[in-house]
Structure 1
Amino acid sequence: MSISNSDYSKMTDKASPNSPVVQNCIRAFLFGGGICLFAQVLNTLYEKIGLNADEVKLATPSTVIIITAILTGIGVFDKIARYAGAGTIVPITGFANSVVSPALEFRHEGYILGTAAQMFSIAGPVIVYGTASSFLYGLIIYIFKLY
């Protein structure tokens, strides 16, 4: 049985509902902003309790990463992400989720071949690409500053 491209397009349009784009954008904005606001509140709280600037710079993202990892581990972060959409991909929370999720998914295969081997299956390419591109960028800046 052969189907034409136009018939296939009609079938897929009928089978897949339209996304509420404006509503999704508003949710992403509010949840992403809420995550950033929460981090800023943590930042201010850490300053108020007497941490110096370097300690605050370390404590704030560490706390957000730990909270995201815990929420991912107990299954809450995925429910939030399903509702909030792209708003949960604020870099630090999205990265923490992308490391913890595969680790949880493959834990039945053992600590070494499951959790440890699969932990960076999603985040690994980002780390490699980020490291390689920052090295190349630094090399280019270094070369042009020589001349």
Structure 2
Amino acid sequence: MITKDNYQQSIKPYQPKPNLIQNCIKAFVVGGLICVVGQGLTVLYMEMFGFTAKEAGNPTITTLILIAAILTGFGVYDKLGQFAGAGSAVPVTGFANSIASAALEHKSEGLVLGVATNMFKLAGSVIVFGTVAAYVVGLIRFTAQTILGS
């Protein structure tokens, strides 16, 4: 009789062994290139529009999200993700890819019930977590300033 443990042991020799060093290098290079593009956009916004480094942050992130969503629509970002793994998933572009992918996957169900509903299933949890985390950090900071008096 084949059990789950027996099955796992019997297929182990046939499973591909991941090349961890190569995967880490790919993730590092691709993630680094995404960051270089982001830094280039920041400099571009600072030079062309006279933004400060802090002011250039929001349009830079918005542009990276737009680029990732467009590349997802054309199927390019998915190929990049297959190649780079976490290197393309960790930056903000990875979140944009996951939202756009969810929207594209359910577009046949309609604009509201398909695209919007499934897109915000993923985004909703991230937005809630971000809001709660910001509240907790703000509460800690406010408490610390009140106690320390600074």
Q: Distance in 2 between matches of 1:141 and 1:25?
A: 36
Equivalent pairs, count: 146
- Change in CA separation of 1:145 and 1:55 when aligned onto 2, cut-off 3 Å: closer
SS in 1 for 2:120: coil
Contact 2:31 2:91 in 1 (8 A): no
Q: How does 1:45-124 map to 2 (within 5 A)?
A: 45-53=44-52, 55-124=55-124
* Per-residue CA distance 1:40-74 (angstroms, 9 max, x = gap): 11111222223322542222111111100000011
Percent identity of paired positions between Structure 1 and Structure 2 = 44
SS in 1 for 2:17: coil
Unaligned runs of 5+ in 2: none
Q: Distance in 2 between matches of 1:60 and 1:118?
A: 26
Unaligned runs of 5+ in 1: none
Offset of residue 144 of structure 1:
4.5
Q: Distance in 1 between matches of 2:64 and 2:78?
A: 16
SS in 2 for 1:63: helix
SS in 2 for 1:19: coil
Runs of 4+ in structure 1 deviating by more than 6 angstroms, as ranges, are none
Structure 1 length normalisation: TM-score? Answer: 0.88
Offset of residue 141 of structure 1:
3.5
